[in-house]
Amino acid sequence: MTPQEILSKHRLNYSELRKSSVSYLSDVWLTEKYAIKIYGTNNDGFEKEVWFYYKAAPSYAPAMIDYGDDYIILERIYGNSIYRNWHKLSNEVREDYARQIAEIITDITSRGYEGAEHLFPIPDLWEKHIKNRIMLLCTELDAQNRIPHGLSLSVREFTEEYWQILEKHEYGLCYTDLRFDNLLADSNGKIWLLDYETLCAAPKDYILDTLYRMGTSPLWDKNEENVRDGATLMELLKKYAPALFDYPDMDKRLALYSLIYELDLLRYYPNDALAIKNIKDAVENF
């Protein structure tokens, strides 16, 4: 169905309709009051979001108005993306935002998912799951000459030495796309978290993976050429969500998680300079 047909079917009035330019896994259309997400073949993401918006319905997520076979209708949230503003914020505002983000991720990781276990399968052995993903990526990249051979060996050695530290964990729901552009601050200073398509079951500290990489890979604002990084956010989260950091060898755990992202990046951008730098930093800093 087209967004116009969806709005007509649900008898929702609108005067403006435009396609969002920031959606990746689904098509998002915006009216003055609503956001319509059309999933197409992304059925897994659709089922997860319907479940989360309907069953969990947390105060930090948009309200779900209705849904159909492959779409959902949400209230539209107006606010400023932290992605564009973190580097401009005062320390006081940053701390308040960090406190709210800590409350959000603590809530997500503490939620159960009874009746939806099929949406959130758990790997038999998490630590071997991570180890095997890293090793398989190294093998693939080696075969295609997409990574310096010596670096691939260092990654394998690092993984072999430390993969067992991942044995200690407590499973929870994990939001794996926790980037600044999925966080909005409204006019009252309230933080909203958008897009739950990539929810999964994982050790609770895995929710920190994206935030960790925001600190190791600063992003640049194309318009203002200002660095904004997540390093300060990570330090603040340790203050407001200490339980998520309560693992031995936390720095090595996050380094192992980050290797999967950086190695996967090399599949699409062979010998990417920043990915290679981050991989070197991950395996050589210990």
pLDDT digits (tens, 9 = 90+) for 108-123: 999 989 899 999 998 8
Higher-pLDDT residue of 115, 23: 115
Looking at the structure, tell me whether residues 86 and 51 fall in a common domain: no
* Phi, psi dihedral angles at 97 (to 5 degrees): -65, -40
Maximum pairwise Cα distance, the chain: 61
106 and 248 both lie in a single domain? yes
First to last CA, the chain: 53
**Total domains present in the chain:** 2
Class of residue 74 by CB neighbours under 10 A (exposed 0-12, middle 13-18, buried 19+): buried
Percent of the chain scoring above 90 in pLDDT: 72
Average pLDDT over residues 28-49: 93
Range of the domain at 135: 80-284
pLDDT band at 215 (very low <50, low <70, confident <90, very high): low
Cα(249)–Cα(252) distance, rounded to whole angstroms?
5
Cα–Cα distance, 209 to 100 (Å, whole number): 18
258 and 192, same domain (yes or no): yes
**How much is the pLDDT for 233?**
82
Domain boundary among 75, 105, 126: 75
Last residue of a domain, one of 24, 44, 75: 75
What pLDDT does 40 receive? 87
Answer yes or no: do 141 and 261 share one domain: yes
pLDDT of residue 88: 83
Whether 13 has a pLDDT exceeding 80, the answer reads yes
Q: What are phi and psi of 277, to 5 degrees?
A: -60, -45
Sorted by sequence, the CB contacts under 8 Å of residue 156 that are 6+ apart come out as 134, 135, 138
Same-domain status, 104 and 141: yes
Residue 225 has pLDDT above 50, yes or no: no
Residues 127 and 226 in one domain: yes
Tokens matching residue 65: 């108005």
Q: Is 150 exposed, middle or buried, given 0-12, 13-18 or 19+ CB atoms closer than 10 A?
A: exposed
Mean pLDDT confidence for 261-274: 93
Higher pLDDT pick, 24 / 168: 168
Same-domain check for residues 144 and 251:
yes
Answer yes or no: do 71 and 136 share one domain. no
Which one of 18-22, 200-204, 223-227 scores highest in mean pLDDT?
200-204
Mean pLDDT of 139-146: 96
Average pLDDT over residues 7-11: 97
Res. 9: pLDDT tops 80: yes
CATH number at residue 30: 3.30.200.20
At residue 33, the 3 state secondary structure works out as coil
Measured in residues, the chain has a length of 286
pLDDT in tens, 233-250: 888 999 999 999 999 899
Q: pLDDT, tens digit, for every residue of 49-108?
A: 999 999 999 999 999 999 999 999 999 999 998 877 787 889 899 999 999 999 999 999
Nearest to 26 by CA among 5, 9, 47: 47
pLDDT the model gives residue 84:
73
pLDDT score at 218: 54
What pLDDT does 123 receive? 84
48 has a pLDDT exceeding 90: yes
Beta bridge partners of 28: 37
Tell me the C-alpha distance between 56 and 47, whole Å: 13
CATH of the domain at 195: 3.90.1200.10
Q: Which residues contact 171 (CB under 8 A, 6 or more apart)?
A: 122, 201, 202, 203, 204
Task: Say if residue 89 is in the same domain as residue 133.
Answer: yes
Residue 89 or residue 28, greater confidence: 28
Beta bridge partners of 147: none
Mean pLDDT value of segment 139-164: 96
Whether residues 132 and 160 share a domain: the answer is: yes
Q: Is the pLDDT confidence value at 222 over 60?
A: no
Tell me how crowded residue 255 is: count the other CB atoms within 10 A of its CB.
Answer: 22
**What average pLDDT does this structure show over 125-137?**
96
In this prediction, residue 211 has a pLDDT band, given cuts at 50, 70 and 90, of: confident
* C-beta contacts of 268-271 below 8 A and 24+ residues apart: 270/144, 270/145, 270/146, 270/147, 271/146, 271/147, 271/148
Looking at the structure, tell me whether residues 258 and 235 fall in a common domain. Answer: yes
Does 159 have pLDDT greater than 80?
yes
In a shared domain, residues 131 and 227: yes
